[in-house]
Structure 1
Amino acid sequence: MKQKRWLTIPQGSVFLLLMCSLFLFSGCASLNEREILSTSPCISNSWPHEKSDLQPDPDLTFGRLDNGLRYVLLAHDEPQNRVGMYLNVQAGSIQETEKQRGLAHYLEHMLFNGTTHYPPGTLVEYFQSIGMGFGADTNAHTGFDETVYKLLLPKGDRQMVDEGLLVLADYARGALLLEEEVNRERGIILAEKRSRDSVAARVRKKQMHFEFAGTRAAQRDPIGIEEVLLQAGSADLRTYYDAWYRPENMVVVVVGDMRVHDAEQLVVKHFSGLNPGSVQPECSELGRVAEKGTDVLYLHEPELGYTRISYGTVYNEQSTDNTKAWEEQQLHAYVAASILNNRLEKIARKPGSPFTSADVYSGVFLDTLGYATVTASTDNSRWREGLSVLRQAISQTMESGFTVSELERAKKEILAYLKKQQQTAKTRNSTKIAAEIIRKLNSNEAILSPAQELALYKPMLEAMKVDDAEQAFARLWKRERRLIQVVGTVDLGSDEEQAEEQILKVLAEQSRVAALDWKDEQGLHFPYLQSPVTIGRVQERKSYDTIGVETVQLAGGVRINFKKTPYQRHQVQVAVHFGQGKLSEPSPGMAGLAESVVRESGVGGLTREQLNQVFAGTNVELGFKVGAESFSLTGTSLAEEFEMLLQLVYTQLHDPAFRKTAFEKSRERAGKMFDQIQNTVEGQGQLVGSKFLTGDNPFYTMANRTQMMDVQLHQVVEWLQPVFSAAPLEINVVGDIDQQNALALVQRYFGRENRSEHTLIQPTRVLFPQGQEFVHRVNSSIDKALVTVAWQTDDFWDIARTRRLNLLASVLGDRLRLKVREELGATYSPVVYNQSSRTHQRFGMLQSKLTVSPDQALAMAELVKEVAGELGKQGVEELELERALEPTLTSIRDMQRNNSYWLHAVMALSSRHPQQLQWPLSIVNDFQSITTRELKQLAALYLKPELAAEFVTSSRR
């Protein structure tokens, strides 16, 4: 669901999700002040800042053509030689009539199937030929009030920008909408509807009906309804297209490594001649929600796998202009929601809490529908207690308000986020900037630069008092409307009225709930361990000048790999690898629980919640992962916070915590996860399919419920504690940070270790079920099947072979797209990938996955094997190779300008696999040298139909 002007604070991500309604990315400069008035009163093409007292970012160029079409341009060179290009149509499913439900999304599909300059079947192939991946670099989405088309061009020269804008102009007014293409696409639309169908999606639709009853939002899910989709024809789509795809209702957004002057000339060239269609848009009232009374939604959905409880309100909001006063009001509301979120997070982490997680949401949807809710996941036996706690959290906050310490924590978190946005502005990704521009425009909000945001909000935060947050909270929750929801596996009987009475009775007994304790702890200190004073002894130092990496081997079993990069300004990433990870797992299920236990336990001297409190106001983050062949602590921070990040890594290794409460919460969440996957073809495909395809090898197999629930805390401690304290460390550092200072800090904190190698564990053999097939039936009401066809390939370490297998997978995926999607309309998005093992010699798998109708599953599996077999017999055509290769080369160029590539693909575990440090030197030339002959040989060797294993999870019995 697309939300406008929203504030959402999910648990555990206070400063990452900092409300889209506040924190913006870019702005505007030159513009045509004359507004073109539409013939329709429901279309306005004024800029949000024209009705605001906020000055927009001068780095953006805004313009408006005589026909009303608007454009926004920004030169931005990250990633290099890439240009993000978007057509933003300010209409979606909410503009559909009853007889058009689903046509906005259907039309989005049709614009890839024939336009003035790109006949049917040519556009995707054109994109691939110039280095754009279908889906990754060319895509679109339809929301309630927007339809957005995306192109990510591989170059920014004038010719490429010219060609890209020609495509967008064709989308805008050049759709052919041929009847035969409409009929061909119908199967794909229905396949997408099937692939997205789930019990959770159906529940969410029912919740939309409940929450926004009386409005069009409750009846306009973008995917539409089958009655319309099955009957839709070219004329129906043309009616919607001509009504809403009008110049004055569209905005072209171009952000990237290009010349703004050229782009502006080309926008004028391609779009100034566009004219609206003959159909006049029909303006419809959105409707209003009831503002008084209490309503209850009870849904017994055993297949959902969990129970979710909610306590909330909805209201009608006046659409307002975006002003400084409005921004301050939103800021106060966000701070209030942040404080409540922190309170609920504390409750969720307490021993004996009635819920495992809780979230706070508030905002305005579609400009005029306000909402606020607190919601939590709970155990079936404790839903009453959980619902009482949620309501008590609201009523107690209304009565007692907030504390100064709570306010200061929330303010510090927001300021830290603003500071990071301002420092990293120059190296933000163009696509993210463009997405923010579009979201802000469609939300009728002025666009500010990160520097402007900091200048705007910092004084507001400094002046903000507890009373301001309390008043903002009261504005939401003093309303008379209440919506109560109990949804999921809890069974309150078949009589809905009696079930609702049970739920209302819980609320009537609110006075019995004890006051909640959520006071911030005082006197917390970090770091609390005594840090080393002297720098460790260097045994060996080596520079890899061709890739800009330096390695330092310290005495005591510590190796440092360092690379300075300009790709993410003022940011640094760290990955510390040690031990043997899942290879050393003593029993199935322990790895999954161990990850959660370590993350939730905090460190020895501070709980997870105490750590959150201590690190409020910083951008330091650290996570723990059990990888295939190592454990890792992976973190990020601003460069100026690097020492604080190292202190956290040091503490995690030298004073780890394995708390009982964290273990119990982790087990409870694992149980809910198994409940959720029990009745889904996707979940069972993962659980049962991994066993079938690897001969039940525990390294590749997802543990079952019994195995995971049998794991005890002492086993996790016995497995991990010795590794944390004694296993050799490989510390990888990548980012925009001074090399000398960074290495000195790492040497200081980790130069006095005394770590030694352990006996390497030999992996057990994997038994691939060559030539076998298995059908697994799932007890699900969702009519779908997941088809997996797999072939055994080879391990990872012949990198030339692995690269060619990856490209072969791309070729097969494209053939399946053309055959199964475009020709047969049997699936929405076929997925093909090769996964070569880093741990097991001579083992890898190339897999194809399709979501289809259950009655087509076995036939589709045979078809996949047939298409794959043809690659080995008839070979790969040059054009096929080009369509697979060019997008791959584009993604490689992007990848090499990203810290994560150097950290995880090149440097990580290079102490064990030094050949990784040579791979960046050959990757482009090696891919460019791949031939059709090589791919045919690989296909003939690995992709024979008789060598395939076939696995189907199906909902049909």
Structure 2
Amino acid sequence: MPQSVFPFSWRRVAALFFALLFLPSLLGAESIGPAPRPAQPSCLAANWPHDGSDLPPDPALTFGRFANGLRYVLMANDEPKNRVALYLVVRAGSLQETEEQRGLAHFLEHMLFNGTTHYPPGTLIKYFQSLGMDFGGDTNARTGFDETVYNLLLPSAESAVMAEGFKVLADYARGALLLEKEVDRERGVILAEKRSRDSAASRVSKKQMEFDFAGTLVARRDPIGVEEVLNTADSRLLRSFYDRWYRPDNMIVVVVGAMRPTETAKLLETAFAGLTAAEATVSCPETGSVKESGIEILVLPEPELGSTALSLSTVGNIQPRQDSRAWEIEQLRQYMASILLGNRLDQLEQRPGSPLAQPQTHAGLFLRQYQYATLTARTEPGTWRDGLALLQTTLAQALKHGFTETELARGKREIRALLDKAVQTAPSRDSREIAEEIIRKLGDGEVVMSPTQEMAFYGPEVDGLTLTEINDALRQQWSQPRRQIHLAGVLEPGLTAAQLEDQVRALYRTNESKEIPAWVEAQRAPFPYLAPPPVPANEPVERASHKEIGVETVTLPNGVVLNVKATDFQANQVLLSVQFGNGRQAEPAAGMALAAEALMRESGIGRLTREQLGEALAGTNVSLDFAVGPESFSFQGGSLRNEFETLLHLLRHRLYDPVFRAEDFRRSRENLRRMYDQLAGTVEGIGQIQGDRFLAGGSPEYGLPTWDEVNTIDLARIGQWLAPAFAREPLEINVVGDIDPGEAVTLVRQYFGADRRQAGEAPPVQPIVFPAGEQRRLQAASSLDRALLTVAWQTSDFWDIDRTRRLNLLASVFDDRLRVKIREELGATYAPRVISQPSRANAGFGLMKSSLIVAPDQAEALARATREVAAGLSGKGVGEDELHRALEPTLTSIKDIKRNNRYWMESVLNLSSRHPQQLQWPLTILEGFAAIKAEELTELARQYLAPERAATVIVGPSVPGQPGPQP
């Protein structure tokens, strides 16, 4: 299967790193047509990674190529049922642009939705919707440095639907109209997208990219482009890029889903074999090389980032290599070295008073031409010196003294767990994930292997890894003499960037000269250590079978309610959810729920810290997270089927031996403060803290508390709130997945059948007063030219399911009208969004909320336009055509989610002991939505969406010279 686990984990970190830090086949290998002429430029490579490799590709894949050079990969797959994922990969992105074309690869991606040979402007999205495809979900595109990818998830595997899908992709490939009027119209959308993506983090990432890759094309080719080009680009300029790079011999079509490869290849041939390249000269870009020596310091004062980011890294040049067994073994050793170094950083973070927060290590390849390794962390503005010294020392320890056998054994367990999960879950892979993995591996020049192949290859190699090999791999990662140190974000007052740069350089030199102590391994405690008490024998259990939805409810003699739904949707995977207590309904003080969640994320259990618990669970795929919901506390997680008992062990320890340590509380408090500092510098953050609370009358169900509220919560109060609930509140335990219900009942009874619990009294819910007709202007401590516009209306609560479904569909219609009006017609925003948020906890309350990122000076006008669109829903009403275009994607989505374990857990079983009506909803969801009529939506719009009932929030940047708000 193409969803490689080891290479995926290893190489995908390249893309993730730069995003975060810079913020034999069924038809044979070549099935149709002769090979392309060999005289083409080297960047239009025609070979597959497995050509000439000693690694065999996944035998489930069909590889093909037409005479015009276009290649394809096909794979039959069953999930989602009766759907097919189509991808067109154009091997050109921002690196293929010339200086006068900067931003055109992305601009062109937009334009292909605005008019092609068979789909005139304004018709393609409506066509997708009429088929049952959601724009943005089932059809989308993306542009990167070296590729542009278009994707469709067809709602049916019928030949006629697939043929139409291929017609769309073929139009993308060579049928772009690029009408001047449409170019001008889309220009505003692209500038709005640039505005919406602008942030302190993106500014820092771009500057870091330019710094680390100075001297290369990477540093000058941000995919979003530059405004000088975006403001002046015309059809002629776009056509020059399109004709040069959108050519059959520079494209790959990837098809994964419920189809027959032989028949699909014929449909592909009809759509693509006749395409021809334009008469345009292809000149392969010279990307350049990075320097490979010296100590380089980058200091970026960026107070709006909200925290201090520190990194120590190296970047060097590498020649692309043919994938092979030897190359993959080399990469495996490098991956293991990164895991072990990362595990050390996790231990350091847990030490009392550690200057490091959220430390990470990454290493890998970028664009197959550059190799990198980096250590990153957050610090306080005044502790970055200690943080840098600790990162430096940790790296030097590993480079000089190497790792230990205990560390290597843990790393082996972790990699084996990933490989094992890939094999066990392979039968229920998602077609989109498979297709994306194929595209990633082809782009990286990797052979696409199945999980079984990877287990057979990597498994023995993992078992045989030695310390010498891993230590040598780490030294190879850091063999370049070049070192880069980044210090960005909130910096010490009173020091210039130049002064800080001098201090960083001097400190690094001083640390280099110090004696390097050996690593001291931490003591390990056993797990599990809590033995469940004996369950009284022969006590009867109550059983209720909900056969129509495949759910069995068992009430144990001690009152524990267990709901089990066995599914085959996701092979060998099991979800667990435990609901108890009253959650935010019983929150003693504003901010308590958020502080409690943050503390639990940092906490282990009574005898083990978080990192020690992670070490004890290494080699498993067990996870369990804590949350405070509107109506309850919850632990939610999952595992493989054969790890389910370990998951119950973990749950028992979380409930019966919780820990509230001062050091964990310190870290959680600092993480929250950094989060709030960052939120204060964004319009979205102020919208969450002040805007959402304004719209909901201060209800904790919506938005975030203020930092002042969170900061008053101390450790003792959190323990006093959580500990009694963990120990005494009755449990509703829900299990969904590939498990035998009898096994689930036996194990749950064994671990939780002896507990005696008593429910506490739920406090009354405070009513919400919606600020109808009011407007509030807020400021974020930001210099960015962007504003968040929110216009909302009060609706009603969640519990009338017919009304809730209709409000959900009304939100879809409203969303589409906003898209047409404000994005397509006005070009004033990139992604308008309308959602319905009915309350579960507050009777009679809900929100219909629209959100847009806009230019600050346009916010008032666009607020009026939004209210006018809403008024049109009630005035002119909802038309049958737009009902159909909103309903069909919803019906398609329902068919998918009913085969998803999370739907059954989160929408049906969770809290069903309190709300038994939830167990009936799956029986009517498809028919209920299908029966919705246009006039019903019009009536809801008239009931709720009157312009005078709207409340408006505009969050803009701080006025120059005035302080921004405190969250």
What TM-score bracket applies, with the shorter chain setting the length?
over 0.9
Q: Within the alignment, does 1:592 sit opposite 2:594 as a pair?
A: yes
Residue 150 of structure 1: SS of its match in structure 2? strand
Residue identity matched to 1:576: V
Q: TM-score, normalised by structure 2?
A: 0.96
Residue identity matched to 1:479: Q
Match of 2:965 in 1: none
Residue identity matched to 1:548: G
Could you tell me whether the CA contact under 8 Å between 2:185 and 2:827 is conserved in 1? Answer: yes
Match of 2:579 in 1: 577
Match of 1:430 in 2: 431
Pairing of 1:377-396 with structure 2 (within 5 A): 377-396=378-397
Could you tell me whether the CA contact under 8 Å between 1:76 and 1:430 is conserved in 2? Answer: yes
Could you tell me whether the CA contact under 8 Å between 1:493 and 1:499 is conserved in 2? Answer: no
Between 759-768 and 492-501, the greater mean CA deviation after superposition: 492-501
Residue 952 of structure 1: SS of its match in structure 2? strand
CA distance in 2, matches of 1:648, 1:29: 48
Residue 576 of structure 2: SS of its match in structure 1? strand
Aligned partner of 1:675 among 671, 677, 682: 677
CA distance in 2, matches of 1:853, 1:523: 55
Unaligned regions of 5+ residues in structure 1, if any? 21-25
Deviation per CA, 1:314-373: give whole Å up to 9, x if none.
111011011010000000000000000000011011111011111111111111111111
1:874/1:19 CA distance change after superposition, 3 Å: closer
Deviation per CA, 1:299-319: give whole Å up to 9, x if none.
111111111111111111011
Residue identity matched to 2:197: R
Could you tell me whether the CA contact under 8 Å between 2:86 and 2:154 is conserved in 1? Answer: yes
CA distance in 2, matches of 1:928, 1:494: 64
Match of 1:659 in 2: 661
Q: Within the alignment, does 1:361 sit opposite 2:359 as a pair?
A: no
Residue 416 of structure 2: SS of its match in structure 1? helix
Match of 2:30 in 1: 32
Residue identity matched to 1:578: F
Aligned partner of 1:795 among 790, 794, 797: 797
Match of 2:622 in 1: 620
Match of 2:827 in 1: 825
Residue identity matched to 2:711: M
Could you tell me whether the CA contact under 8 Å between 1:27 and 1:448 is conserved in 2? Answer: no
1:124/1:116 CA distance change after superposition, 3 Å: same
CA distance in 1, matches of 2:725, 2:380: 34
Residue 382 of structure 2: SS of its match in structure 1? helix
CA distance in 2, matches of 1:161, 1:239: 30
Deviation per CA, 1:916-952: give whole Å up to 9, x if none.
0000000011100100110010000000000000100
Once the two structures are TM-superposed, the CA of residue 775 in structure 1 deviates from its matched residue by 1.0
Pairing of 1:304-453 with structure 2 (within 5 A): 304-453=305-454
Match of 1:260 in 2: 261
Residue 526 of structure 2: SS of its match in structure 1? coil
Q: Within the alignment, does 1:481 sit opposite 2:479 as a pair?
A: no
Residue 483 of structure 1: SS of its match in structure 2? strand
Residue identity matched to 1:660: A
Residue identity matched to 2:614: N
Q: Within the alignment, does 1:937 sit opposite 2:939 as a pair?
A: yes
Residue identity matched to 1:607: T
Q: Within the alignment, does 1:550 sit opposite 2:537 as a pair?
A: no
Match of 1:456 in 2: 457
Match of 1:854 in 2: 856
Match of 2:925 in 1: 923
Residue 129 of structure 1: SS of its match in structure 2? helix
Once the two structures are TM-superposed, the CA of residue 214 in structure 1 deviates from its matched residue by 0.6
1:699/1:171 CA distance change after superposition, 3 Å: closer
1:168/1:869 CA distance change after superposition, 3 Å: same
Deviation per CA, 1:577-635: give whole Å up to 9, x if none.
00011111111111111112123221112211111111101111111111111111111
1:217/1:559 CA distance change after superposition, 3 Å: same
Once the two structures are TM-superposed, the CA of residue 8 in structure 1 deviates from its matched residue by 7.2
Could you tell me whether the CA contact under 8 Å between 1:310 and 1:486 is conserved in 2? Answer: yes
Could you tell me whether the CA contact under 8 Å between 1:6 and 1:362 is conserved in 2? Answer: no
CA distance in 1, matches of 2:754, 2:398: 49
CA distance in 2, matches of 1:86, 1:159: 17
Deviation per CA, 1:457-481: give whole Å up to 9, x if none.
0111111100000000011213211
Aligned partner of 1:783 among 751, 768, 785: 785
Once the two structures are TM-superposed, the CA of residue 42 in structure 1 deviates from its matched residue by 2.1
Could you tell me whether the CA contact under 8 Å between 2:575 and 2:737 is conserved in 1? Answer: yes
Residue 311 of structure 2: SS of its match in structure 1? strand
Could you tell me whether the CA contact under 8 Å between 1:791 and 1:948 is conserved in 2? Answer: yes
Aligned partner of 1:564 among 566, 569, 582: 566
Match of 1:283 in 2: 284
Residue 363 of structure 1: SS of its match in structure 2? strand
Residue identity matched to 1:736: D
Pairing of 1:268-279 with structure 2 (within 5 A): 268-279=269-280
CA distance in 1, matches of 2:132, 2:651: 40
CA distance in 2, matches of 1:27, 1:390: 48
1:392/1:277 CA distance change after superposition, 3 Å: same
Once the two structures are TM-superposed, the CA of residue 712 in structure 1 deviates from its matched residue by 0.7
Between 705-714 and 224-233, the greater mean CA deviation after superposition: 705-714
Once the two structures are TM-superposed, the CA of residue 5 in structure 1 deviates from its matched residue by 11
Give percent identity, aligned residues only: 51
Match of 2:950 in 1: 948
Residue identity matched to 2:78: D
Once the two structures are TM-superposed, the CA of residue 778 in structure 1 deviates from its matched residue by 2.4
Residue 48 of structure 1: SS of its match in structure 2? coil
CA distance in 1, matches of 2:689, 2:39: 55
Q: TM-score, normalised by structure 1?
A: 0.97
Between 260-269 and 518-527, the greater mean CA deviation after superposition: 518-527
Aligned residues: 946
CA distance in 2, matches of 1:769, 1:163: 48
Could you tell me whether the CA contact under 8 Å between 1:772 and 1:948 is conserved in 2? Answer: yes
CA distance in 2, matches of 1:517, 1:102: 50
Could you tell me whether the CA contact under 8 Å between 1:576 and 1:730 is conserved in 2? Answer: yes
Between 57-66 and 520-529, the greater mean CA deviation after superposition: 520-529
Pairing of 1:3-402 with structure 2 (within 5 A): 30-32=28-30, 35-36=35-36, 37=38, 39-402=40-403
Residue 358 of structure 1: SS of its match in structure 2? strand
Once the two structures are TM-superposed, the CA of residue 17 in structure 1 deviates from its matched residue by 9.4
CA distance in 1, matches of 2:665, 2:10: 25
CA distance in 2, matches of 1:705, 1:212: 38
Unaligned regions of 5+ residues in structure 2, if any? 960-967
Match of 1:834 in 2: 836
Once the two structures are TM-superposed, the CA of residue 28 in structure 1 deviates from its matched residue by 8.1
Could you tell me whether the CA contact under 8 Å between 1:18 and 1:414 is conserved in 2? Answer: no
1:496/1:606 CA distance change after superposition, 3 Å: closer
Residue 549 of structure 2: SS of its match in structure 1? coil
Residue 50 of structure 2: SS of its match in structure 1? helix
CA distance in 2, matches of 1:516, 1:254: 54
Once the two structures are TM-superposed, the CA of residue 779 in structure 1 deviates from its matched residue by 3.0
Deviation per CA, 1:777-803: give whole Å up to 9, x if none.
223111001100000000000000000
CA distance in 1, matches of 2:831, 2:493: 39
CA distance in 2, matches of 1:732, 1:618: 21
Residue identity matched to 2:801: I
Could you tell me whether the CA contact under 8 Å between 2:26 and 2:62 is conserved in 1? Answer: yes
Residue 298 of structure 2: SS of its match in structure 1? strand
CA distance in 1, matches of 2:9, 2:686: 31
Residue 546 of structure 1: SS of its match in structure 2? helix
Match of 1:603 in 2: 605
1:743/1:493 CA distance change after superposition, 3 Å: same
1:606/1:413 CA distance change after superposition, 3 Å: same
Match of 1:748 in 2: 750
Root-mean-square deviation (CA), in Å? 2.0
1:513/1:564 CA distance change after superposition, 3 Å: farther
CA distance in 2, matches of 1:8, 1:426: 20
Match of 1:23 in 2: none
1:544/1:335 CA distance change after superposition, 3 Å: same
Aligned partner of 1:766 among 752, 765, 768: 768
